[in-house]
Structure 1
Amino acid sequence: MIAAEFGSTPWGRAWVRSVAAIAASGPNALLPRARTLARNHAVELTTEPGRIEARVSAADAVQPVHIDVPLWSPQTQAQVRRLLEKSLAEHPVLIAGDLSDSFEADLRQEGIPVAAGLDELRAECACRSRKRPCVHILATLYALAQQIDERPALAVGLRGGATDPVAPPLPGWIALTALDPVAFYGD
């Protein structure tokens, strides 16, 4: 079985579903082009809580894209933090930026959406296309799904959830920064 190019994790899949939701009434001719742009690294993406900024290179032009993502409410953020701490306790060996799939399932079970629906996003693109969302916005969302697949904590951070609780160190492990290279290797 070949891994999915977009949405290979439950975290990225949530965002891919939000993009595909617009095609429910019929095929959207822009989706293949948007996937091609994302696949070919035509999207330069930066994120911060509640905001996605992108520069999409297509047809010899660069289009700036701005997408505002609704943040979770403070109550939801507190609930996410509790679920995250529980997940980190159950999976203490996750690397930075990674989250367990069971944590995403816990969020879903609690009715906390990882991805925002297209109707919840405020997306702007400077292109002349009358069709919204345009191919540049869709490509940005596909590129976002790829980044979330690589680093699931981005999905939680984008919605305003804290993803940086300090997990307890594993017994017998020493932080690399705690070592003195001169003393370690000798004179």
Structure 2
Amino acid sequence: MADNEFGYTTWGMDWVRLAEPLRQTRPDPLLPRARSIARNDGVHAVTEGRIVRAQIHRGGQASVTHIELTPLARTAVTALTGIVGVEPTLLTDEMHAAARAADIPVAPELAAIDCSCSARTARCVHVLATFYDLARRVDEDPRLSLDLQGFDHPDHGAAPGDSGGAPETPRWIPLNTLDPAMFFEV
């Protein structure tokens, strides 16, 4: 696995699998361009908690991607702490294998994806380039993979339905729940 440019650790390979899922049956023509963009530092990503915002510059065009990750469940955080420790400085492939053997989900799960490009798809070249850039960054520091899933903030990283935390504010409000009288005078 050391010959891979992206995902040479098992932590980074989880991020490559977002761009190259195993269930994919035919080649994706966007993957070579996405790898090229990530390889040539065309992705400028900023992480805030479980959210990644990236600016991708390609030629004279620029796009902004927004990726939000599902938080680890409180039970997964507790079990994972027993394997990697409270403040791990270095995560190894053996720790990843131990977490998998204990059925602890460590692979990132996406909650929301958005891109400002005109493709209007969740698998545009900009999102794929962001996945590759994140895979490279996770290969350098595997702790980033867990941090993006809320491991470092167990109070804020509880999945909806977990006990012990404040209820999560919904991202969207259904239109039929709004009262027009609140906005207009009758």
TM band (smaller chain): 0.7 to 0.9
Q: 1:161 aligns with which of 151, 160, 176?
A: 151
Deviation readout 1:87-125 (Å, 9 max, x if unpaired) = 96xxxxxxx4x31111111111122232225xx341100
Greater RCO structure (CA 8 Å; 6+ sep): 1
Q: How many residues align?
A: 153
Contact 2:63 2:126 in 1 (8 A): yes
TM-score of the pair, normalised by structure 1: 0.74
Secondary structure at the residue paired with 1:71? coil
Contact 2:114 2:122 in 1 (8 A): no
Distance 1:114 1:147 in 2: 16
Which one has the bigger helix percentage?
1
Deviation readout 1:57-88 (Å, 9 max, x if unpaired) = 11312211100000001111111112112996
The reply on whether 1:106 has 2:121 as its aligned counterpart is: no
Q: List aligned pairs for 1:33-48, cutoff 5 A.
A: 33-48=33-48
Corresponding residue of 2:77? 77
- Return 144-153 or 60-69, whichever deviates more: 60-69
Contact 1:34 1:138 in 2 (8 A): yes
Q: 1:140 aligns with which of 130, 140, 156?
A: 130
Residue identity opposite 1:42 in structure 2: G
Corresponding residue of 2:108? 116
Distance 1:35 1:62 in 2: 17
Structural RMSD (CA): 2.2
Secondary structure at the residue paired with 1:127? coil
Residue identity opposite 2:147 in structure 1: G
Corresponding residue of 1:129? 119
Deviation readout 1:13-61 (Å, 9 max, x if unpaired) = 1111221017712111111100000000000012233211111111312
The reply on whether 1:68 has 2:68 as its aligned counterpart is: yes
Distance 2:80 2:152 in 1: 8
Contact 2:2 2:8 in 1 (8 A): no
Corresponding residue of 1:58? 58
Structure 1 portions without partners, runs of 5+: 89-95, 164-187
Distance 2:18 2:97 in 1: 17
Structure 2 portions without partners, runs of 5+: 154-186
Residue identity opposite 1:126 in structure 2: S
Contact 1:81 1:162 in 2 (8 A): no
Moved over 4 A (4+): none
Over the matched positions of the two proteins, sequence identity in percent amounts to 34
Residue identity opposite 1:83 in structure 2: I
Q: List aligned pairs for 1:7-18, cutoff 5 A.
A: 7-18=7-18
